[in-house]
Structures are given as structure tokens and as C-alpha cells.
Amino acid sequence: MRAIELTAPSLDALRAVTLPQPQPGPGEVLVRMRAASLNFIDLAVATGRYRVPRFPVIPVADGAGEVAEVGAGVSEFAVGDRVIPHSKPLWVGGPARADVSAATRGVVLPGSLADYAVLPASALVPTPAHLSDEAAATLPIAATTAWRGLRAANVRPGSVVALIGTGGVSVFALQLAKAAGATVVITSSSDEKLERARALGADHTINYRRTPAWDEAVLDITAGVGADLVVETGGTQTFGRSVNAAAIGGTVFVIGFVTGATASADLMTIMTKALNVQGNNTGSVADLRDVARAIAASRVVPVVDTTFGFDEAPQAYAHLAQGGQHFGKIAIAH
């Protein structure tokens, strides 16, 4: 089968190879991969910012495809079913544990840049019928993370959600929050991206280049109350502002470190506001199944900014590495 291997922590170390086709064992499914989708973790692995146990590795955590063969004892899926493998296939449900949440595709386990992948049947979620394979491939990390953020803050009609940037998680959070009846404030350095966010339903937009104190703008928009949920993607340069922008009893959902992984904040503000500062490491297969059902019910269509061909995987990585060039997700079509 065709595959792409990452042979070292470098964007120049992506190599096209031919490997034996894997075979499913009992309880496993052979998935014909049709698409993959890039996340920041994939770039971090390819640049040495996220340690992997060994090279070479078949990279990219997220993907989607169809069932090509089922192993003994598998009854919930049949050949031809369209499926989404979770990026953490051993974390079936419940709270995170080190022995299951650390086993990530494209890091510890073979990832999505191959024609075929073998996974436990328990790691697969049916693809919403209205989604293309490229759109479905964006769900495991980005949609699951956004969903867990909304659930952590109990987002409902009337809630206020503040989003930093227009990457995959933020755009999913925008779409899902609007489907839940929330008011959404979103920031970007690009007026063009803010216009696209408004087309998706964003109620308020802030250009943080012109308004560096975007947290104060969130407070102004909410008449001093703040946001019930702030999805914190930035890290060093944004964490303190996220804390300031949050409402009393609100949630700062920490999912990224684009500007650095070391941050500081006013502890008095966290205490007096009784904030829930929650980290997140994606979610379980059960969480992915829940968000896939929500997407199917609300007919949300993931935003795929750019799609590259399988042989263009290095260009896809380079596009992600440029930073701030895309709105939503970057996909790779097999």
C-alpha cells in the first residue's frame, strides 16, 4: 500500500513509501483511508516540538474512510460503511487515563497518511451522511475538542462564547455554539476571516491587531459580564486576557499554545470569579460519537479551507506551518 512516513523531526523528512497492507485481527477493522486532516499536533511532531517514541512513523492523527474488511467478532460494522477512526483509539470512554489517552495515531500508533489502517472496531464512529470524507476527517481532534469545551461550560441558549482565532477548533466551536443558541464573539487579525466568521453566524468580531485589548472588548460587548466560555488557544500571549474576558463562574478551556506554552495570570481574578480553568487532551471515542451525532442532527458542515492531494502532503504541512493562512481546516485527499 501507499504510505507516507516521517523519518525524523523535520518537515523535510516526509517520504513516500510502499508498505505491506495490514490485516485485521479479532475485534479489528481494516479501514480504507480516504482523507486526512492536519492539526497542530501533526506539525509539532514534524518539527520536533512534540516528542514521539520512535521514527519512522506514519503521521497525521485524523482521518476518515470506509470499512474494507472486518475481523472475527465484529458485528457493528460492515464492508462499505463510512467511518471516522478516533485519533486516540484506545480511549473508548470515561475520564482520561495515561494508558489510553497517550496512544495517539500519528504519534505512537500509525496515522492516516496510508491507504489502509487497522483499528479496533470500538475506535470507529459512523460518518454523518451529509459529510464528504475530507470534511469527516476534520472531526476527531477539532470537533471533539470544541464539543468538550461547550459541554464543560454547559453552553446553552443565551450563553456567551468567546473564541480566539479562526483555526479548526475555534470554527467548530462557532458552528456548534450557534447550533446551541449561544452568542459568539470571535477574534482574528484578518478582516477577511472575520467576515467569513460572520457568515457562519458569529455575532461579534474583534480584530486583535487593531484592538490588542480584545478582552476588554469582550467585556464591553457583554456589558461588563464577560463570556461563559473562553476557548483559549494562544497560550503565553493570550491566557491572561482569556481569564479577564471570562464571566463569574465561567470556563477558560485551555487547548493550545500557539504563542508559547508558559503563561501567567492574576490568581486573584481566577479566585474571585470562581473560574473553571480546564485543560483538554481531545476526548474519547464516546465524545467523538456525540459530536458526530450533533453535527448530523444540526447539519453542520465543517469548514475545509484547503484540500491537498496525497502526494502533496509536504505542501499541506508547509501551508499549516505558515500560520494564520487558513480559516478552518486543512485536508489531504487520498
Question: For residue 249, what is the domain's CATH number?
Answer: 3.40.50.720
Distance CA 86, CA 77 (A): 15
Residue 270 covered by a domain: yes
Query: Could you tell me the residue range of the domain that residue 198 belongs to?
Result: 143-279
Give mean pLDDT, residues 46-53: 91
pLDDT of residue 184: 98
Residue 154 covered by a domain: yes
Distance CA 226, CA 243 (A): 10
Which grid cell is 105? 495515531
Same domain, 108 and 200: no
Same domain, 52 and 127: yes
The fraction of the chain above a pLDDT of 90, given in percent, is: 90
Which residue did the predictor score with more confidence, 177 or 233?
A: 177
Same domain, 217 and 314: no
pLDDT of residue 96: 87
Domain count, the chain: 2
Same domain, 183 and 265: yes
Q: Is the pLDDT of residue 44 over 80?
A: yes
Same domain, 95 and 202: no
Same domain, 133 and 18: yes
Same domain, 171 and 236: yes
Residue 227 covered by a domain: yes
Distance CA 190, CA 212 (A): 13
Q: Is the pLDDT of residue 36 over 80?
A: yes
Beginning with the edge strand found earlier in the chain, give each strand of the sheet holding 276-279 in spatial order. Answer: 204-207, 183-188, 160-164, 227-232, 246-254, 276-279
Write out pLDDT tens, residues 220-274: 999 999 999 999 998 888 999 999 999 999 999 999 877 777 888 889 999 999 9
Same domain, 149 and 198: yes
pLDDT of residue 100: 87
Q: Is the pLDDT of residue 325 over 90?
A: no
> β-strands 28-37, 116-120: how paired?
antiparallel
pLDDT of residue 136: 98
Residue 285 covered by a domain: no
pLDDT of residue 79: 98
Question: For residue 49, what is the domain's CATH number?
Answer: 3.90.180.10
pLDDT of residue 323: 78
Helices (H), 251-303: 267-272, 285-298
Which residue did the predictor score with more confidence, 260 or 5?
A: 5
Residue 240 covered by a domain: yes
117 DSSP 8-state letter = E
In which band, very low, low, confident or very high, does the pLDDT at 324 lie, cut at 50, 70 and 90?
confident
Gyration radius (Cα) of the chain, Å:
20
In which band, very low, low, confident or very high, does the pLDDT at 63 lie, cut at 50, 70 and 90?
very high
CB 173 within 8 A of CB 200: no
Write out pLDDT tens, residues 134-174: 999 999 999 999 999 999 999 999 999 999 999 999 999 99
Residue 184 covered by a domain: yes
Same domain, 68 and 168: no
Same domain, 13 and 131: yes
Which residue did the predictor score with more confidence, 262 or 333?
A: 333
45 DSSP 8-state letter = H
Same domain, 134 and 147: no
Same domain, 67 and 108: yes
Give mean pLDDT, residues 212-222: 98
pTM for the full predicted model: 0.94
Residue 41 covered by a domain: yes
Residue 87 covered by a domain: yes
pLDDT of residue 49: 87
Write out pLDDT tens, residues 71-110: 999 999 999 999 999 999 999 999 888 888 889 999 999 9
